[in-house]
Structure 1
Amino acid sequence: MKSTLLTLTLLGTLLTPALHAAPFTPEQESRIKELIRETLVANPKILDEVADAWEKQNAADQASQLGNFIKGNQDVLFNSATSPRLGAKNPKLTLVSFTDYNCPFCKQFDPHLARLLKAYPNDIGLVIKLLPFKGQTSAKAAQYSLTLWQQDPARFLALHDKLMSKQGMLTEADINKALAATGNTALKPEARATEELRNSLRIGTLLGVQGTPATLIGNQLVSGAIPYEELEQIVKAELARKG
């Protein structure tokens, strides 16, 4: 299918007359098609080379678009006071984690992020954007943790870890137990937490996040619970790029 599309694209390019030039005659068009067919039959690797070049150019275009979007949305991505922030105070590199308390892969991946912050205490910062994709308890847990962040940031991490470490889907009872275990039984969700969730969903959608976990590292959006070693390699490369 890819080869067919590329052939059609090539044909279309060749069959389009240059600006101000006379159009091809039917005989010329027929001969061009024959030449293309003969060339491809004699050199079938051409299609692979064209496909590779197209894929590289497409990837470069997407990276450029992502970079421009990130540059135009620095404040909401990296500097929002209502988004939890962990790690170095003046980091060389700030990651943005799109995550969900009911996502099993997020529960697997969250310890990798914690390990990374410990390994690079002066270099790495982490902004957490909660995306409650998986049910009402996901949203409720997020509202509690975000409210706590906005009221008392120093106490956020204990509740966050408690909610994230609970295996399986959270129940109302699980959330209440987490609140009790971290001394937050009197905590009441605030409207600012709901607004933060809306903003996270909006920026995540515009950024192209299609599921959790997703981690923004430099100008690269990394999807899924990748192994720690792979995560660290990406981070090291980005730190080296920043110098």
Structure 2
Amino acid sequence: MLRFLAAASLALFTLIASPALADNHDNDRIKQLALDAILENPEIIAEAITILRGRDEEKRLSDMRSKIDQYRDQLENDPNAPVLGNVDGDMIIVEFFDYNCPYCKSVAPDVLKLITDDQNIRLVYREWPILGEDSVFAARAALAAREQGKYEEFHWSLMRLRRANEESVLQAAAELGMDIDKLQRDMMADEVNAHIQLSMQMASAIGFTGTPSFVMGDQIVPGAISLEEMQRIVENSRQSRPTAE
């Protein structure tokens, strides 16, 4: 039944969308056949829409993969990007995130558990503050924390905040014993500006529309997923690699 509906749907939309194809046919007869098909099987409209949407999604993902291939080296090896986990890990995961994104916060414990349980993952962070000035402040502070060797600790602290803003971010920094004056000076460093600018550029070029967005090996994950899904993608990625002869 589904095959019939799919074929009928595609034929119907082809006829409707291609007037030139109908030049050699009786237009009225074609319209009547289409109407009869719809009246007898109204579900073919929904089926056709599903098929066309699926094709659109496949093309979108294909375009995104092409862009990721273009940016692969910068995504995985940018020396100006924070790296957690195993810096020499065989599985590279890149996460674009915002400290005020509730989905980023909800997935953060799973990301931490993933790199804790699997000691062969290289996790590359792209600070992508798209939710307002508070998010920009938090991202700048996190990147500046690298100068005091506190990025990882500070990152998890900020992820636990209900709302990351100037007051809560600086309080979290103080609780970690950071030099607040130095932190605020370092927030305006060229390296901080460059990281955020590149994140914006890559996310736009790839076609990400929200946070979190992951590149997990060759897989694109535009949204929060469970720990089990992360583990499955990591395992599948490793198994799909060509074996050395």
Query: Cα RMSD over matched residues?
Result: 2.9
Counterpart of 2:123? Answer: 126
Question: For the residues of structure 2 that align with 1:170 and 1:90, how far apart are their CA atoms?
Answer: 31
In the alignment, is the contact (CA less than 8 A) between 1:96 and 1:217 conserved in 2?
yes
| Aligned partner (choices 144, 157, 163) of residue 162 of structure 1 | 157
Helix, strand or coil for the counterpart of 2:233?
Answer: helix
In structure 2, relative to structure 1, the CA distance for the partners of 1:81 and 1:212 (3 Å cut) is: same
Verify the 8 A CA contact 1:96 1:129 in the aligned structure 2: yes
Query: What residue in structure 2 maps to residue 183 of structure 1?
Result: 177
Matched position secondary structure for 2:150: helix
The farther-off stretch of 137-146 and 216-225 is 216-225
Q: 1:46 to 1:203 in 2, by over 3 A?
A: same
C-alpha contact 2:94 2:124 (8 A) present in aligned 1: yes
Q: Tell me which amino acid in the other structure corresponds to 2:176.
A: T
Counterpart in the other structure of 1:228: 227
Name the counterpart of 1:101.
99
User: Post-superposition shift, 1:113?
Assistant: 0.7
Q: Which residue of 1 aligns with 2:114?
A: 116
Deviation at 1:146, TM superposition (A): 1.2
**Residue in 1 aligned with 2:3?**
none
Are the equivalent residues in 2 in contact too, given 1:86–1:125 (CA < 8 A)?
Answer: yes
Normalising to structure 1: TM-score of the pair? 0.80
| 3-state SS, counterpart of residue 224 of structure 1 | coil
Alpha-carbon displacement from aligned partner over 1:9-56 (angstroms, at most 9, x marks no partner): 3223563249xxxx437xx22222233334444555655554454344
Describe the superposition over 1:189-210 as per-residue Cα deviations: whole angstroms up to 9, x where unpaired: 2121022111111211222222
- The question of whether the paired residues in 2 share the 8 Å contact of 1:63 and 1:219 is answered with no
Give the letter aligned to residue 210 of structure 1: T
Q: Structure 1 pair 126/37, CA: closer, same or farther in 2 (3 Å)?
A: same
What is the match of residue 238 of structure 2?
Answer: 239
Unaligned runs of 5+ in 1: none
Aligned equivalent of 1:206:
205
Q: Could you tell me the percent identity over the aligned residues?
A: 28
Task: Tell me how far 1:241 sits from its aligned partner.
Answer: 2.5
* C-alpha displacement of 1:72: 0.7
For 1:100 and 1:13, the matched residues in 2 are separated by 42
1:138·1:170 contact (CA, 8 Å) conserved in 2?
Answer: yes
Length-normalised TM-score, structure 2: 0.79
Structure 2 unaligned regions, length at least 5: 1-5
Q: In 2 relative to 1, CA 15–138 (structure 1 residues): closer, same or farther, beyond 3 Å?
A: closer
Q: 2:33 matched to 1:35? A: yes
Deviation at 1:6, TM superposition (A): 6.5
